[in-house]
Chain A
Amino acid sequence: MPRLDRLPERFATHLLDVECPRFDSEPWMGGPPLSRRRIAVVTTAGLHRRDDRSFLLGSENYRIIPGDVESNELICTHVSTNIDRTGFAQDWNIFFPLDRLRELVREGVVGSAADFHYSFMGATEPEKLEKSARELAALLRRDHVSGVLLVPV
């Protein structure tokens, strides 16, 4: 995003005051070259399939997005009004770059794309997502995912 000094003062102050989690450890996992990795996208944009449950204020769980999802199936119910949605209305890749990922897989730059991707709603405090995130890790491992691309909004 633009440097904070380019935002309206109240908004910049609000962002600076956001409490960020601190961790004692710095986990680090290695892996094969990108051309052999299996990539899943995990977004916090509050995306979900049209017939799935909407996100609400404080939602702590995630929604499953099948790997063969089409752009018209996804909507965004993130609760924040400060997120610009005009780009998403024009092109879903600006939130969720699945077309680009599919291209990289076709070209062999990336090994494969996961069978499932996932979405959280980023307005929830990170600590409240921990339980769901750890549960999600097991699903990702079962899908043989060797790289997750995390995308905020």
Chain B
Amino acid sequence: MGGLGHYLESEGVPTTQISLVREHTERIRPPRALWVPYDFGRPFGAADDPALQRRVLEAALALLEVEKGPVLEDFPDAGAQNAAHPDGSSEGWACPIPLRSPVTSPDEDSLRRAFLDEFAALRPWYELAVSKRGRTTVGGSGLDLAAAAEFVAAFAGEEIPDNPCPEIPIAFVLRAAVADLKAAYIEAVTAQPGDTVPTHAQLADWFWRETRAAELLFEVKRRAARSQDRALQLVTGVLMIPMARTGG
């Protein structure tokens, strides 16, 4: 990020930026930066908190009026509920939909079936979420959601499935399909009724600890590690499951 600030400013375009990793910004020394105490994925603090988002935006833009630099300031306001619990527990919120029990003997078929059943149960909530919000973040893979689910599930089997998008290496189609499924799960579960709004840490805990989808992805990773396909090893090794969930 700081590199972009340097390049644009040296071409005559004034820049200001949000900094998420203060240590990186200190090293790069871009012209103007506002460090915020929020997690990756939350540069403006919290969803559905326009007041906080506005304070961050105004603080970052105000740096454009500073007379000399480089300047790196800290955003003083860490008050957003979600941001205040970066490593929060799941206390206080539970997914209202009962999920299938973990698969105790994960043979190929039982794991795949459990995942596809779970996905089918969540699908109406996803459709409701799309209609309620008027938007979805699903779509990066270009696959229909049901096709994406079948495609990802197939990687838990012995045979690597056919590539539905042959112009892109199959490992990256898998990555995009997994991203779509994760997005659909989160959009679905946050559309359900309840008095408690889950934090992002609670949502991540729910997905990675409680769903059959996560169980399937860990199995896909295990199988891919034995594959000869280096791209598949790379994707399943570091681009599919967050580092914090793989024993880091």
Contact = CB atoms under 8 A, between A and B. Distances in A.
Q: Are the chains A and B members of one assembly?
A: yes
A148 B62 contact: no
A67 B135 CA distance: 18
A25 B183 contact: no
A13 to B, nearest CB: 9
Interface stretch (B49-57, B99-107, B116-124, B152-160): B49-57
A77 B53 CA distance: 23
B239 A9 contact: no
Nearest to B70: A26
A72 to B, nearest CB: 4
Interface in B23-69: 23-24, 27-31, 36-48, 50, 53-54, 56-58, 60-62, 64-65, 67-69
Interface in A45-64: 50, 54, 56-57
Given A14-B243, A120-B4, A150 B17 contact: yes
A18 B24 CA distance: 8
Contacts of B58: 104, 109
Interface in B168-201: 168, 172, 175-176, 179, 182-183, 186-187, 190, 200
Interface size class of B (residues with CB under 8 A): 35 or more
Contacts of B190: 86, 89-90
B76 interface: no
Interface in A93-143: 93-95, 97, 99-101, 103-104, 109-110, 120, 122, 126-127, 129-130, 133-134, 136-138, 140-141
A10 B61 contact: no
A77 B243 CA distance: 18
B61 A1 contact: no
Nearest to A29: B14
Given A28-B69, A87-B82, A122 B23 contact: no
Contacts of B244: 7-8, 11, 82
Given A87-B41, A104-B58, 14 more contacts: A1-B38, A25-B10, A28-B68, A30-B67, A54-B176, A71-B135, A80-B239, A85-B41, A93-B47, A94-B42, A126-B4, A126-B28, A130-B3, A148-B8
